[in-house]
Amino acid sequence: MYGKLHVESPDTCGRPPDLAISKLYDMLPAETSGDSSKRTAADNQTVRNVYVIGPDKKLKLILVYPMTTGRNFDEVLRVIDSMQLTAKHRVATPVNWKPGEDVIIAGSVSDEEAKKIYPQGWKAPRPYLRIVPQPK
């Protein structure tokens, strides 16, 4: 699902040494100064965020990690899969969802509309919880 996905990791990202991007996105205080190459890890400890920006150039997700915790790329990719799927098919993904697993028909979809989209029906353990196989 990553046809238009562009990933930059801290090891490959072309960061300007003046910290402009970090300040622009409030990852560091605006008054922070100095060349990033001369700063210590402790100075830069707030720069531990993952941002997902959609094709519409809007911020879709921020994951914030403490300095002592490594980022989880499996989780980042899972979230991107979910966001792409839900944007295209009007579904929601449940907790711990993985690609290929069942999804939930979005609450904004009426039962009448859902019957047209999912003529095979759905499982409904609760009236508001309509479960269907993941759309292709």
Q: Retrieve residue 21's tokens.
A: 């991007």
- CATH code for the domain in which residue 115 is found: 3.30.1020.10
Does residue 60 share a domain with residue 106? no
| Same structural domain, 64 and 83 | no
Please check whether residue 47 lies inside any domain of the structure.
yes
Selected residue with higher pLDDT from 69 and 41: 69
pLDDT band (50, 70, 90) for residue 11: very low
The reported pLDDT for the residue numbered 2 is 47
The H-or-E segment that residue 117 falls in is: helix 111-117
pTM of this structure: 0.70
- Asked if 110 and 79 sit in the same domain, the reply is yes
Residue type, 91: V
Give residue-wise pLDDT tens across range 63-114: 888 878 888 889 999 999 999 999 999 999 999 999 999 999 999 999 999 9
Does residue 79 sit in the same domain as residue 124? Answer: yes
Do residues 82 and 118 both lie within one domain?
yes
Residue 24 located in a structural domain = yes
- Helix (H/G/I), strand (E/B), else coil: 83: helix
pLDDT at position 67, please? 76
Which residue range(s) make up the domain with 100? 74-132
- Domain match, 78 and 128 both: yes
